[in-house]
Amino acid sequence: MAKINFGGVEEEVVTRGEFPLEKAREVLKDEVVAVLGYGVQGPAQAMNMRDNGIKVIVGQRKGTANWDKAVADGWVPGETLFEVEEAAEKGTVIQYLLSDAGQRSQWPKLVEHLNEGDMLYFSHGFSVTFKDDTGVIPPPNVDVALVAPKGSGRSVRVNFLEGSGINASYAVHQDFTGRAAERTIALGIAIGAGYLFPTTFEKEVYSDLTGERGILMGALAGVMEAQYNELRKNGHSPSEAFNETVEELTQSLIRLVGQNGMDWMYANCSTTAQRGALDWKDKFRDATAPVFAALYESVKTGNEARITLEANSKADYREKLDKELAAIRDSEMWRAGAAVRSLRPENWKE
């Protein structure tokens, strides 16, 4: 492991330098990795491992859209594509990448196909951490670990193809074989992680649920709506309000933050922007701190997990989700966004 100083705190991380792909292939040479679920993370992780020379099979319910997607991606029924339970039986590493609600419902069937010495692999600590609600309690004769990419499945694939990778956390929850750590790290390298940092199942799910509900999605969308609505109330056009709220952030400023950090972005903006941002930053921090505290407590107590499982297990979940997403898509703000995106140079028509 490499020791890196993160803001004054030294952490150990795993990079491709000390654990190259060739080593990962050697560790996994006798493994059959069964990727169960071809929805969000499944396609990217499966295809990345396949491209890296790992023996991979996919488990997905036949007759579903995701089965058809797997076929379109080159997985061959009866050879590298199977029903979920058959794939689980054939695999020595079982990547359990169904949705959290799906993991709960399929667990009684899956557990019957775990053989001694197998590795049960997750990309989220949800099911194991909230076992009282999910019923997911792994048997003692298997390794249990996770590799959690810090990005969407689409980004995991796109970044892999571009050669950059997505950073990922990893954790070993149960080491039956004595090889769980090296198997886990090898899998992280094989799926294309930029670097791997250690965590626990509990810490992964707490940080992940907080991040998704917070700055990554929930808070970002909410703050954008608040600013857009305020500008519109004060007579600004939809185009102006959207450009000042979203377009400038996504097409310019956040890229500078990603490349060089917040201080660098501040230093490369106008002095007027610098002064105003510095004066208002703490106000926004202090205003939202109680919301983040309440959010983390809701995650830690399992309340968010119970809400998720209840909502996502209902028969009409997809129908209700489509309506909620349509409400966002059809709002003035995001209709304005669609118009703005259509005017980007790459979308110009001759």
pLDDT digits (tens, 9 = 90+) for 195-207: 999 999 999 999 9
pLDDT digits (tens, 9 = 90+) for 215-272: 999 999 999 999 999 999 999 999 999 999 999 999 989 888 988 999 999 998 889 9
The CA dihedral of 85, 112, 96, 44, to the nearest 10 degrees, is: -30
The answer to the question of residue 46 being in a domain is: yes
**What is the reported pLDDT for 50?**
97
Do 190 and 334 share a domain, yes or no?
A: no
pLDDT digits (tens, 9 = 90+) for 140-150: 999 999 999 99
Do 121 and 235 share a domain, yes or no?
A: no
**What is the reported pLDDT for 345?**
82
Assess contact for 123 and 148: CB atoms under 8 A: yes
Domain harbouring 54, CATH code? 3.40.50.720
**What is the reported pLDDT for 350?**
54
Q: What is the pLDDT of the chain when averaged over all its residues?
A: 93
Do 239 and 130 share a domain, yes or no?
A: no
Do 38 and 111 share a domain, yes or no?
A: yes
Nearest to 67 by CA among 103, 95, 105, 39: 39
Please give the Cα distance from 91 to 102 (Å, whole number): 19
Whole domain around residue 189: which residue ranges? 2-199
pLDDT confidence of 7, banded at 50, 70, 90?
confident
- For residue 106, CA distances in Å to 34, 51, 61, 134, 304 come to 15, 29, 11, 10, 21
**What is the reported pLDDT for 6?**
83
- For residue 47, CA distances in Å to 53, 271, 288 come to 10, 47, 40
pTM of structure? 0.89
Can you say how many angstroms the Cα of residue 250 is from the centroid of all Cα atoms in its chain? 19
Domain termination residue (choose one: 141, 173, 199): 199
Whether the per-residue pLDDT at 5 is higher than 90: the answer is: no
Antiparallel, parallel or unpaired: β 166-174 and 193-198: parallel
Instruction: Determine how many CB atoms are found less than 10 A away from the CB of residue 99.
Output: 18
- Give residue for tokens 């790459």: 346
**What is the reported pLDDT for 3?**
82
**What is the reported pLDDT for 245?**
95
Q: How far apart are the first and last CA of the chain?
A: 53
pLDDT digits (tens, 9 = 90+) for 132-176: 999 999 999 999 999 999 988 899 999 999 988 889 999 999 999
Do 245 and 222 share a domain, yes or no?
A: yes
Nearest to 103 by CA among 111, 93, 112: 111
Domain termination residue (choose one: 199, 232, 260): 199
pLDDT digits (tens, 9 = 90+) for 113-129: 999 999 999 999 999 99
pLDDT digits (tens, 9 = 90+) for 78-101: 999 999 999 999 999 999 999 888
Do 62 and 116 share a domain, yes or no?
A: yes
The answer to the question of residue 205 being in a domain is: no
Do 95 and 217 share a domain, yes or no?
A: no
Domain termination residue (choose one: 138, 170, 199): 199
Do 155 and 238 share a domain, yes or no?
A: no
The answer to the question of residue 109 being in a domain is: yes
The answer to the question of residue 324 being in a domain is: yes
Do 106 and 140 share a domain, yes or no?
A: yes
Do 244 and 132 share a domain, yes or no?
A: no
pLDDT digits (tens, 9 = 90+) for 310-344: 998 888 998 999 999 999 999 999 999 999 999 88
What's the chain's length in residues?
350
Assess contact for 144 and 179: CB atoms under 8 A: no
Residues with a known catalytic role = 124
* Total of domains in the chain: 2
Domain harbouring 220, CATH code? 1.10.1040.10
pLDDT digits (tens, 9 = 90+) for 171-195: 999 999 999 999 999 999 999 998 9
Do 73 and 96 share a domain, yes or no?
A: yes
pLDDT confidence of 349, banded at 50, 70, 90?
low
The answer to the question of residue 206 being in a domain is: no
pLDDT confidence of 10, banded at 50, 70, 90?
confident
The answer to the question of residue 204 being in a domain is: no
